[in-house]
Amino acid sequence: MEHTIEFRVRYEETDQMGVVYYANYLVWFEVARTEFFRARGVEYKKLEEEDNLYLPVIEAYCRYKSPLKYDDVVTIKTKFAGTDASRISFEYSVTKGAKLSAVGRTLHVFVNEKGKPVKVPAKVRKVFDEID
Amino acid sequence: MEHTIEFRVRYEETDQMGVVYYANYLVWFEVARTEFFRARGVEYKKLEEEDNLYLPVIEAYCRYKSPLKYDDVVTIKTKFAGTDASRISFEYSVTKGAKLSAVGRTLHVFVNEKGKPVKVPAKVRKVFDEID
Amino acid sequence: MEHTIEFRVRYEETDQMGVVYYANYLVWFEVARTEFFRARGVEYKKLEEEDNLYLPVIEAYCRYKSPLKYDDVVTIKTKFAGTDASRISFEYSVTKGAKLSAVGRTLHVFVNEKGKPVKVPAKVRKVFDEID
Amino acid sequence: MEHTIEFRVRYEETDQMGVVYYANYLVWFEVARTEFFRARGVEYKKLEEEDNLYLPVIEAYCRYKSPLKYDDVVTIKTKFAGTDASRISFEYSVTKGAKLSAVGRTLHVFVNEKGKPVKVPAKVRKVFDEID
């Protein structure tokens, strides 16, 4: 099960090579995750605000295949890629039209306000159970 | 009274025009302020951590005169530019060697953890009284 | 004559004060300008690619009135604010719902690939003549 | 063979979780690479300017172990991690004092101004031959 977002490359996201600077893909993955959750009825900000739960990244990977330019229309597909007691992972594909620009993966752990790992909260677990 | 910092332009800070993207000057001003305070015995992070005081920017201005490039060695001079009950302001000059790249100005207000303006804290006031 | 864009605050755009970091408003102004031009039939990227014309910022100003948070839906209104032989300026208002978050202003100069100021290109001039 | 850089976390690099936003580690890796090359007599900017050679990232990985905060003094050790005809890779460790914050890895390919892979240039090859 996937969620798709589409947006345009900002001028700020380019570098002097004339293409998108590599770290920005990780920024986009985060935007894609927020929307993945929202599309399934979970507002990530409420997890922080109401439940004092946070979802830091503990692992990030990106493979860059084709550069992107300013003003390109970019599509990111986010796929749930597994969960255990306190961790969840996502996979991403970044495309421009039919062309694959990059693939990525992030691994996250749910923690409380003290940074201690906690169980995946029920309302999030529910989302992924429906996916499985 | 001034404080000077020196650093190199990061690749990430450039854009496809081949020069530093304009918003990054504001990031540098913030680094310059941190070091201005530190040089006078005030650690800004402790104002936040220990005193629950914050110093958001309420006004920012920059005039760009000559572009900067990746790996350029940049100098920023920070000058205290005035204070009143709860606000302080700074002026900045950004140079590369003898060449002026930009001048800027920021205005800040001290607020408490609820965002309410408070008096300039005594330890900061002391710094500026010495400058006057 | 105005153009309006709407988008959500990215997690990356926040800082440890829990609000949007001040330099990001300048990034948003740039996105707003791109869309202002596009809405009037001018693709900024083509000015660079096809005409070797660039539109660097020579002055930027922002007044911050109310902080923005992660996931906030932000509206930016961009208004053409004047032109002369080679320069143009814009004004921006940043709002969240009915609440004004910030106002800003940028001044730009058209330059050629060597960084030398040139006349506002005819296709851009045409846009602004229609506005006047 | 390693090269070490040390710097302070910028306020801009934090997010509302109160720690450094994850994408910034990739920005730091780039700074670390620039200095790794410089310490061995190679200025990366000259590869671009004089030789029309570029070194985009084709793979990036980071494992986050312990968060970093604003104003932390961060150390990054960069290690050459192998090369073949046109590609080179680096490994990074990010520490604060004795505490490991993250480890990372990037893989790069040398390309010409058209984006076509080319052999690792002789002056870079020389650096790595000395390391082996």
* C16-54 pLDDT, tens digit each: 999 999 999 999 999 999 999 999 999 999 999 999 999
User: Going residue by residue through chain D (132 aa), what tens digit of pLDDT does each one get?
Assistant: 799 999 999 999 999 999 999 999 999 999 999 999 999 999 999 999 999 999 999 999 999 999 999 999 999 999 999 999 999 999 999 999 999 999 999 999 999 999 999 999 998 888 887 765
Q: Which chains touch D (3 or more CB pairs under 8 A)?
A: A, B, C
Task: Say how far apart CA C24 and CA C122 lie, in whole Å.
Answer: 31
Q: Which among A19, A21, A69 has the least Cβ separation from residue B12?
A: A21
Contact C115 B61 (CB under 8 A): no
The 10s digit of each residue's pLDDT in B11-66 is 999 999 999 999 999 999 999 999 999 999 999 999 999 999 999 999 999 999 99
Contact A44 C71 (CB under 8 A): yes
Task: Say how far apart CA A72 and CA A28 lie, in whole Å.
Answer: 14
Asked if residue A40 has pLDDT above 70, the reply is yes
Residue B7 pLDDT grade (very low, low, confident, very high; cuts 50, 70, 90): very high
Query: In chain C, what residues touch D17 (CB-CB under 8 Å)?
Result: 16
The pLDDT mean for chain A works out to: 95
For the beta sheet containing B99-109, the strands, ordered from the edge strand earlier in sequence to the opposite edge, are B2-8, B73-83, B87-96, B99-109, B57-64, C57-64, C99-109, C87-96, C73-83, C2-8
Report whether A29 contacts A22 (CB < 8 A).
Answer: no
Instruction: Give D2's strand partners.
Output: D79
Instruction: Give B117's strand partners.
Output: B111
Residue B131 pLDDT grade (very low, low, confident, very high; cuts 50, 70, 90): low
* Residue D69 confidence (pLDDT): 98
The 10s digit of each residue's pLDDT in B93-128 is 999 999 999 999 999 999 999 999 999 999 888 888
Q: Which residues contact C71 (CB under 8 A, 6 or more apart)?
A: A34, A43, A44, A45, C8, C9
Tokens of D130: 């000395």
Q: Which of C16, C19, C24 to mutate to test the interface with D (most CBs of D within 10 A)?
A: C16
Tokens of D119: 């052999």
| Count of C-D CB contacts under 8 Å | 30
Asked if residue B132 has pLDDT above 70, the reply is no
Catalytic residues of C, by residue number, are 15
Contact A31 C10 (CB under 8 A): yes
Q: Which residues contact C18 (CB under 8 A, 6 or more apart)?
A: C69, D16
Tokens of D81: 């991690």
Residue A127 pLDDT grade (very low, low, confident, very high; cuts 50, 70, 90): confident
Task: Say how far apart CA D94 and CA D64 lie, in whole Å.
Answer: 9
**Residue pointed to by tokens 């985009």:** D56
Tokens of D52: 């029309």
Q: Which residues contact B5 (CB under 8 A, 6 or more apart)?
A: B31, B32, B35, B75, B76, B78
Residue C68, classed as helix, strand or coil, is coil
Query: In chain A, what residues touch C43 (CB-CB under 8 Å)?
Result: 71
* Residue D106 confidence (pLDDT): 98
Active site residue B71: no
The 10s digit of each residue's pLDDT in A74-88 is 999 999 999 999 999
The set of long-range contacts for A45-51, using a CB threshold of 8 Å and a minimum separation of 24, is A45/C69, A45/C70, A45/C71, A47/A121, A47/A124, A48/D16, A48/D17, A51/A121
Asked if residue A107 has pLDDT above 70, the reply is yes
Query: Which of A76, A75, A66 is closest to A97 using CA atoms?
Result: A75
Q: Pick the residue with more confidence: B130 or C94?
A: C94
Domains of chain A: 2-131 (3.10.129.10)
The 10s digit of each residue's pLDDT in B67-79 is 999 999 999 999 9
Asked if residue A129 has pLDDT above 90, the reply is no
Residue D26, classed as helix, strand or coil, is helix
Task: Say how far apart CA D50 and CA D39 lie, in whole Å.
Answer: 19
Q: Which among B17, B26, B67 has the least Cβ separation from residue C23?
A: B26
User: What does A73-97 look like in DSSP terms, one character per residue?
Assistant: EEEEEEEEEEE-SSEEEEEEEEEET
* Residue B1 confidence (pLDDT): 74
Report whether B83 contacts B120 (CB < 8 A).
Answer: yes
* Residue C129 confidence (pLDDT): 79
* Residue C49 confidence (pLDDT): 94
CA distances in angstroms from B57 to C90, C102, C125, listed in the order given: 21, 11, 35
Query: Which of B129, B83, B127, B91 is closest to B109 using CA atoms?
Result: B83
Task: Could you list the beta-strand ranges (E) of chain C.
Answer: 2-8, 57-64, 73-83, 87-96, 99-109
* Residue A132 confidence (pLDDT): 55
Contact A16 B11 (CB under 8 A): yes
Residue C132 pLDDT grade (very low, low, confident, very high; cuts 50, 70, 90): low
* Residue D1 confidence (pLDDT): 74
Task: Say how far apart CA B115 and CA C69 lie, in whole Å.
Answer: 13
Query: In chain C, what residues touch B67 (CB-CB under 8 Å)?
Result: 56, 115
Report whether C67 contacts B56 (CB < 8 A).
Answer: yes
